[in-house]
Structure formats: structure tokens, C-alpha cells
Structure 1
Amino acid sequence: MIQFRATTVASLIALSASPLFAITAEAADKVVLQIDGAAAPFYAPLYAGVEKGIFEKNGIEVEFIYAAAADILTNIAAGNVDFGFPNGDAVIAAAANGLPVKVVHTTYQRGIGALLAKESSGIKSYKDLKGKKIAVTSLASPNYLQLQVGLQQAGLKLDDVSVEVVATGAIIPALKAEQVDAIVFSELRKYNLEADGTKVTMILSNGFLPSFGNVVVTSDKKLAQNADVVKRFTTAVTQSYQWVIDGHTSEALDITFSKYTPTWPKDQKGILTTAFEQTFIPSVWQSPLTQQKGLGAADMGGWQKSADILAQYKVIDSAPKAADFVVDPSTIGQ
């Protein structure tokens, strides 16, 4: 685990009736951000935001730590960490279980789950999956839910396909070796497959099952008692992502590879650059809503639909109201 603490913000105060100036150190607010999974280049905007002084400019000193999404939300609710960066489905489940958590920045405007198949398989829609072998990484994963919903909307059932559970590290090789006919996983793996010369058919899950990727979460208590810190933190997140969007993908990835993910293969930079420029920037971090309201804007209708579907498929007992656990960053502190 790599941690970084930004330097404190210095303010220059002129003393009246004196030619001298006194420099006083204005301590930044120290916060812990717990990120879903492990240090990865996909979080490059956050890492670059620290290294480029964006968080510092907003009076925030950040420490990055990592955990599974469910653990992040438990820690948020207990006050063990200040902010979390889990996936949206986990937040909905936490809210349904009564945990006092709030989404304060919908960083990923949509989910990135997708069905991937080789073009040579002839699979072009979910209807084409009948009799096929489909891989997911876990029967508890959001991708398995996506498979179920996709099949149902195509008039099929799970009994119409053969579902294989394949570990994360083996699921792409399984597809390439044609051990399975298709996988439901991350759309980002399309770029890995294409880089190896594999032609791929992709069906995005978000088209029939609205969801959200990584989002910024804090506790009800912190939002109520420290709205100014929350506002400055979410502002720094927005500015960090905007900096990457504004043409700094390569620099952000260089920062990430050198200081935060040194064990990642450097030859992955090209694939990641393509993923950022073709997927993350145009349609994950940005949306028609963010064009109107700014990065991190909350699609309340989308959040509610996602919660309702999770309840419909018995992932949660009942759907919480989106307004009870999702906040638009523009309203923080008002």
C-alpha cells in the first residue's frame, strides 16, 4: 500500500504598520480516502490530483488506503475513515441495510460491466447466448446480476445457458482460448483483447441495468458536521478529474505508474490511455448530466432505478429512496 500526504497550505499575511511579513502555516484538513480494491492506474486522476497540488489548493491532505467495497462502507458508517470510493451497487446495499452513508460525488456516471465475446462466436445479442457457456467471476458479483437481467430481457433463463465461475485473472484467457463462449465482466478488458489482436463483440450492461461505478461516499455525521471539508474534498475530486479530461491522460498515468502502481507493467500504458480516451473520459466520468451540472452530478432517477432493480432481483430486501443516500455535490453546504 502506498500512502501520500500532501504538504500543508501556507498563507502569507501582511502585518499592518510594518514592512515585515509573517508566514503562518495554515494546516490542511487531513482525510483518509479508502479506495475499492487495490492501487490501480484506473484511479490516476486521484493520484495526479495529489501530486499536482489540487487537493492541497483546496486545503485537503489525503491518505489513500484500500479495502473491499463492503468493508469501506462499514468503515465509513463507523467513522473509521473519512471518505470511501466503492462501487455504486455496494452503496445501495449498505443504504438498504440502514448504514448511515451518503454518496457525495457520483464520479462514475455509469457502470462499466459488459458482455464480451469473440466476433467469430456469432454472438451479437443476449438472444444469441442460448446454449452457450458464459463466465462470470462470482455468483455474488454485479456481473452475474447483469447476466440474469440481460437474459430475462432477451426472453431467456439461466437454465438456457451454462454459467461458469472463473477467477478474475483467468477470465480473459478463458475467453481467448475459447474455453467459454462469452464473459460478463468489465468493458475495459475489451482493450486488452483488441491489443492482442482479438476482435470483440461488446454489449454494455448499463443499457438495460443502470448502475454506477466508483463514487465518493462519506457518513451522514461527517456531511452534517463537516460540510465545508466535504465540499472542498469533492471540489478537489472534480478538479482532479477535469485536469485529466483536459488533455493530461499521459501525465496522469506517468505519475501513477511511478509513484502509486510501480508493479504494473509499463507496457499497459498504451492500453490504459486508449481506455481513458475512448471510454472513461467521454462516457464514464462525463455524461449529458455533467455537461449541465458539473462532474460528479447525481442522477437521482438513475440511482433510484438501480436500487429498484436490485430489490426486484432480491439482491436487497427493499429499495432505499435515492434521496435518502445520494447528494448532488452542488448542494453540499447549502
Structure 2
Amino acid sequence: MSPVLQPPPRRTTRRSVLAGAVALIAGGALAACGGSSGTASTKAADGSTTVTVLRSTGSTFEPLYIAEQQGYFKAAGLTVTIKAGAQDTSQNAPSVLNGEAEFAMTDSSGFLKAAAQKLPVRVVSNLQAATTKTPPSDGLLVKKDSPIKSYADLEGKTVGLAALGGTLQFICEYSTKQAGGDPSKIKFVALPLTSLNDAVQQGKVDAVYTFATFLDAGKAAGLTAIGQGTNALPGLPQALLFSSQAWLAKNADTAKKFTDAISKAIDYANANPDAVRAVDTQYTQLPADYIKNRTIQQFSAPIDTGVMQTVITNMVDFGLLKAAPDSNSLLWDQAATTTNSQ
């Protein structure tokens, strides 16, 4: 999860947020469809194929830099430029569609919103997904004496989020539904990420959903974590890579070399957590103590197709998607898949 997402404070309805988000994604991306995303890859002076990838501004991009550092890109004949993309990663779609980048990162909700608008983008690889193999790095926080003891108790309550309509709102609603509650009776409000813990401590909201160092800080300050965070749905994509359908059609060999290099980097990252910490130190704004002590979440390349369908069905049910995207228009035909997330 991106630890530097800091949207301005606002109070709004789920319907208005969804409409605004979809308008931004669709408007920018459709205007870009006349660009060069379908052109063939270009060559560098040394004969390697040049590729640009837009990463998140927070974290979970560590395998990209590890692939570069370990020489996996070079061995594949690729010269890869890694650049910070939009703070809201769902807004990276226009850059991919107009040819500014061949690949970009987002999360499951960001990608599905674009896909639901029939934008010609495809997932090429997962980077990280929720898993019960490691402790949750995100979660719902309440005051120690709160009457909220489970997600079912959120009915009629106000929950603060750093951004509305995304994966964290989805998992909050999903966990409420799984606990037997009614997600439609929760009021979500957007607050600056750095003020979430204070907001619940001061009683401005009944609960907050936060992540990374902010989750740890909240628990250290006496707040109580409820549930299992995104681990409640193992296989839920927290970070994935996508490209344009047109570019993939003309550059399948390059795309396969890129995703194979990422897969090797994921294996290396999982076996060498200090390499992940080194990337965090150089490229993130995470505090040094947090980087040193945090549990390194597992990375994974395959997309769980069953979980993706669960996400789609529930996002439509919760009003986070106006309509379900065509399941045949989500994944690149060479993307690694699974149905056995744990």
C-alpha cells in the first residue's frame, strides 16, 4: 500500500467519489488513445530494447529496482527506465495509453475502474497480493474502549480513509459483509493520511483504515486493530503491472522478457528481505526505524483469477464499480495466473 497518499480532507458520498474517479480515468485515458502506445519498441545505442515503467510513489515497487540491480533486465536485453508515476496510481492509465510508458503500477481497484470503462489495458503481472503467510500491513483501528469489536459493528459508524473508492474501502466493506454486517450503512470520509490516527483518538470518526508505518504508530499509541486487513481476502492484488493492449500485441516478446525478469526479481526479493529494505531506504519516504523492523510482505507474480472475480462482483455490489468489466479483457494472454492463493 502506498504510504505517501495524502489527498485533501473532504467529506463526500460514495456515489460522487466514484463518479469523479471514473470521469478522471476515462477522460484522460480516452483522450490519449490516439497516441503511440501501439508502436514497436525502440532500441538503445547498445542494441537493447528500451522500456519505461511507472511505479507507485509509495512502495511495493521493490522488485523493479531489484531486477535492475541484479542484472535481470540487462540479461534480457532490456534497458528499463523506472519513473515515479501518478500519486493516485489509477491515473497512470493515460500515460500508458499515449505511449509515455510501456508499463505502469496500480492496485486492483484502480485497474478495474479503468477496465470497466473499456479502456484497452491489460494486467501483465502481479507484484504483491494479500497473503496469510505474513502479518497484515494494513487494518482497521479503533479506540481501546470502542464498542466496535468486529466489522459487523461498523453499521451506522463513520470510517476515515486516506482515499475513497479504492482497495482499502473495498476490503473494509468486504470484511463487513463477511462478518454479517451491511456495508451500505457505513459512512466513509476522506482525511489526510497523517491525521487518521488522531481523528479516531479524538472521536472525530469511529474508526480509521490505515497501513504501513501509520498502522504501527496507531497500535503503539493504544489503538486496537480489528480483523485481518487485506489478508481477509488472500490473493487480493495490492500492486500489479499493466500495459496497453495495442503495445502488447506488437511487442509480446519484449513484454515476456520484462515479466520474466520481474518474476526472477520477485523470487530474489522473497529470499533476500535485506535487498527490499535497501530499496526502501533509497527510494521511499518510510522512516528508517520502520524499514529496519517491518515485516517484509511476500511478493508474487501470478494473478489469482478467482479472487479477481470476487473483487469485481463485490465492487459492483458495493457501488464501487458501475458495471463489471469483461473478464476476457483484464489479463494479457501470457500473464501468470493462479487459483490457489493462501
- Please, what TM-score do these two structures have when normalized by structure 2? 0.71
Between 1 and 2, higher relative CO (CA 8 Å, sep ≥ 6) is seen in 2
Residue type of the partner of 2:306? G
Query: How far, CA to CA, are the matches of 2:208 and 2:54 in structure 1?
Result: 29
Moved more, 196-205 or 308-317: 196-205
Taking structure 1 as reference, are residues 296 and 86 closer, same or farther at Cα in structure 2, changes over 3 Å only?
A: same
Identity within the alignment, %: 22
**Cα offset for 1:212?**
1.8
Q: Is 1:80 paired with 2:100?
A: yes
Unaligned runs of at least 5 residues, structure 1: 1-24, 286-294
Query: How far, CA to CA, are the matches of 1:116 and 1:129 in structure 2?
Result: 12
Taking structure 1 as reference, are residues 104 and 141 closer, same or farther at Cα in structure 2, changes over 3 Å only?
A: closer
Query: How far, CA to CA, are the matches of 1:130 and 1:318 in structure 2?
Result: 25
Match of 1:104 in 2: 124
**Cα offset for 1:43?**
2.4
Taking structure 1 as reference, are residues 200 and 147 closer, same or farther at Cα in structure 2, changes over 3 Å only?
A: closer
* SS of structure 1 residue aligned to 2:320: coil
**Cα offset for 1:47?**
1.8
Q: Is 1:46 paired with 2:64?
A: yes
Query: How far, CA to CA, are the matches of 2:70 and 2:183 in structure 1?
Result: 50
Taking the TM superposition and a 5 Å limit, the aligned residue runs for 1:15-94 are 26-36=46-56, 38=57, 40-65=58-83, 66-67=85-86, 68-94=88-114
Query: How far, CA to CA, are the matches of 2:194 and 2:315 in structure 1?
Result: 27
**Cα offset for 1:312?**
2.4
RMSD: 3.0
**Cα offset for 1:84?**
0.6
Moved more, 124-133 or 217-226: 124-133
User: Would you say the 8 A contact 2:55–2:105 is kept in 1?
Assistant: yes
Query: How far, CA to CA, are the matches of 2:139 and 2:238 in structure 1?
Result: 13
Taking structure 1 as reference, are residues 199 and 183 closer, same or farther at Cα in structure 2, changes over 3 Å only?
A: closer
Taking the TM superposition and a 5 Å limit, the aligned residue runs for 1:185-224 are 185-186=210-211, 189-194=214-219, 200-205=225-230, 207=232, 211-224=236-249
Query: How far, CA to CA, are the matches of 2:317 and 2:53 in structure 1?
Result: 32
**Cα offset for 1:220?**
0.8
Match of 1:326 in 2: 331
Match of 2:302 in 1: 297
Unaligned runs of at least 5 residues, structure 2: 1-44, 132-136, 338-342
User: Would you say the 8 A contact 1:115–1:205 is kept in 2?
Assistant: no
**Cα offset for 1:132?**
4.3
Match of 1:117 in 2: 142
Aligned residue pairs, count? 284
User: Would you say the 8 A contact 2:266–2:301 is kept in 1?
Assistant: no
Residue type of the partner of 1:257? T
User: Would you say the 8 A contact 1:110–1:212 is kept in 2?
Assistant: yes
Residue type of the partner of 1:322? S
Moved more, 149-158 or 51-60: 149-158
Query: How far, CA to CA, are the matches of 1:182 and 1:298 in structure 2?
Result: 31
Taking structure 1 as reference, are residues 302 and 245 closer, same or farther at Cα in structure 2, changes over 3 Å only?
A: same
User: Would you say the 8 A contact 2:63–2:127 is kept in 1?
Assistant: no
Report which of the two structures shows the higher radius of gyration computed on alpha carbons.
Answer: 1
Taking structure 1 as reference, are residues 241 and 191 closer, same or farther at Cα in structure 2, changes over 3 Å only?
A: farther
Taking structure 1 as reference, are residues 132 and 149 closer, same or farther at Cα in structure 2, changes over 3 Å only?
A: same
Moved more, 104-113 or 60-69: 104-113
Q: Is 1:269 paired with 2:291?
A: yes
User: Would you say the 8 A contact 1:107–1:215 is kept in 2?
Assistant: yes
Task: Give CA deviations for 1:183-239 in whole Å, capped at 9, x if unaligned.
Answer: 123366433434566553344245369742110101112221111111111111111
Task: Give CA deviations for 1:136-189 in whole Å, capped at 9, x if unaligned.
Answer: 223434433444444455334655x56443211211333455544321233664
Match of 2:29 in 1: none
**Cα offset for 1:104?**
0.9
Taking structure 1 as reference, are residues 192 and 232 closer, same or farther at Cα in structure 2, changes over 3 Å only?
A: farther
* SS of structure 2 residue aligned to 1:319: coil
